[in-house]
A and B are shown apart, each in its own frame.
Chain A
Amino acid sequence: MLQNIVEKLVKNPDLIEKLKEGKLELAGVSEMEKAAVMDVLTKDNNDQRVNVKNCYWQ
C-alpha cells in the first residue's frame, strides 16, 4: 500500500504540491508512514540531481 502511494506521488508531482498544501489525504497508511512520506517527498531533492555522466563502472 505504502509503495503504491509513493509511486503515485513520484509519478504525479502535482499531487505532492497538494500534499504540501494539505489538500490531499493519504488513505490506508499510519500517521508515522504519512509523516515519513511528507519528510522525503516534500523536501527539496538536491540529491536527486545527480550527474550520471560521472558514473564509472569500468
Chain B
Amino acid sequence: MDDNDLQEHAISYILYKRQEGFSFSSLTQFHYHMDDEEKCKGIVHASAAVEFLMLALDILDDLQDQDDKEKPWSMNSFSTSMNISTGFLMLSKLVLRQSRFDDDLKLEALQYVDEQVLRAVKGQHQDLQSSCATEKEFLCMMKEKSGSLMVCATLIGAILQRSTQKEIIKDYSESFGMAAQLANDIDGLLRLDVKNDLLHKQWTLPILLLTKERDQEADWIRDYYAGKVDKAFMVKREEVLFRWIHHSPVVSYVKVLKRFYQRKALDRMLDLQVRQEWKHDMREYIEKI
C-alpha cells in the first residue's frame, strides 16, 4: 500500500480507529502475556495484525449499515473505502505471517483467523438480512458475529504463547463478545442524538422486544419499521418515545442479559490456571463494557 494518496487515506482511518475506546489488539497482547510478561516484538506485530483485521471489518460494517456519516471511511467514496478495507485485510495476514514466531504457531493462528472471520461473516449476513425474529435467533447471531471476533483476538495471543487453555479462552471470549454486542445495542437504542438505532431502523434485540410491547409507542415503532409512518412522525414524538423507552422493562431486561453474559465470561475465565493478578486485570476488561 505504497501509493501516497492511498497511504494518506489509510493512515487517517487508522488514526480515527485509535481514538476509539475498545482495543482488540491489547487483548491479543494481554493473552500472549498470560504466563510470560517478557517483552516480545513479535506479539506487537501480531497484535497490529489483529488491529488491521478489526479495522477492515469495522469499515465494511459501517459501509453496510450506512448509518454513520462522520467516520473518515464514510466520508470517502464507498469504492475507495472498500478498497482500503481489502488492503487492511490482506495486511493483517501479511503482518501475522511475517511476525517472529515459529511457522507452526503462525499457521495455527492464521487458521483461527480464517475460521473466526468466516463465522463473523455468517453472523453479519444474518444481521444484514434483519432476519432474526426471536431472542434466541438474535443471541445465536451475536455469538457468530461478535463472539467470534473476540475469540479471534484472544486466541491469537494465546496460540502464539502455546497456551494449553484454548477451550477456556474460547468459551469466555464468546460470552464477552456477546456482552459487548448487547452493550452496543443498548447504547444504540438509548442515545439521544441522530445516530440512534431506532431512527435508523436498525434491527437489534432491544428493538425487536420493544415492537412486541402493547403500548401506543410500540405501535408507532411497528408502523415506522413497516413504512406506514415516516421519520418526521417519529421526530415529532421523540420526547414521548424516549421517555417510554428509558422506562421500559425491555431496557432493564436487555441490561440483565448483558450482565448475564458478563458473569458467564467472568465465571469461565476464573477456570484458567494463571496468576491472580492476570485474572484481576482480565476481570476489569470484562466489567468495563
Contacts of B262 in A (CB 8 A): 36
In the complex, A52 has a CB within 8 A of chain B: yes
CA distance A11 to B250 in the complex (A): 11
- B102 CB to nearest chain A CB (Å): 39
Residue of B209, B247, B256 ringed by the most chain A CB atoms within 10 A: B256
Q: Is the CB of B256 within 8 A of A48?
A: no
- Please give the number of chain A residues whose Cβ is less than 8 angstroms from any Cβ of chain B in the complex: 24
Residue of A11, A32, A57 ringed by the most chain B CB atoms within 10 A: A57
CA distance A50 to B191 in the complex (A): 10
Contacts of B235 in A (CB 8 A): 57-58
Partner of B192, one of A2, A7, A52: A52
Partner of A56, one of B194, B246, B249, B259: B194
Partner of B249, one of A7, A36, A55, A57: A7
Residue of A6, A33, A53, A54 ringed by the most chain B CB atoms within 10 A: A6
Closest B residue to A49 using CB positions: B246
Q: When each residue 256-282 of chain B gets 1 if its CB lies under 8 Å from chain A and 0 otherwise, what string results? A: 110110111001000000000000000
- B88 CB to nearest chain A CB (Å): 33
Closest B residue to A11 using CB positions: B249
Tell me the dominant secondary structure on chain B's binding face. Answer: helix
Q: Is the CB of B199 within 8 A of A57?
A: yes
Q: A2-B256, A50-B190, A54-B192 are in contact. Are A10 and B249 (CB under 8 A)?
A: yes
- A20 CB to nearest chain B CB (Å): 15
- A44 CB to nearest chain B CB (Å): 14
In the complex, B253 has a CB within 8 A of chain A: yes
Contacts of B249 in A (CB 8 A): 3, 6-7, 10-11
Q: Is the CB of A10 within 8 A of B263?
A: no
In the complex, B193 has a CB within 8 A of chain A: yes
Q: B65-73, B150-158, B164-172, B237-245: which lies at the A interface?
A: B237-245
- B42 CB to nearest chain A CB (Å): 38
Contacts of A19 in B (CB 8 A): none
16 A-B residue pairs with CB within 8 Å: A6-B252, A7-B249, A11-B249, A32-B264, A32-B267, A36-B263, A48-B247, A52-B238, A53-B239, A55-B192, A55-B239, A56-B194, A57-B194, A57-B196, A57-B235, A57-B238
A-binding residues in B (CB < 8 A): 135, 190, 192-194, 196, 199, 209, 231, 234-235, 238-239, 242-243, 246-247, 249, 252-253, 255-257, 259-260, 262-264, 267
Additional A-B contact list (20), CB under 8 Å, known A2-B253, A36-B259? A2-B256, A3-B135, A6-B249, A6-B252, A32-B267, A36-B262, A40-B252, A40-B255, A40-B259, A50-B190, A50-B192, A50-B246, A52-B192, A52-B238, A52-B242, A55-B192, A56-B192, A57-B193, A57-B196, A58-B235
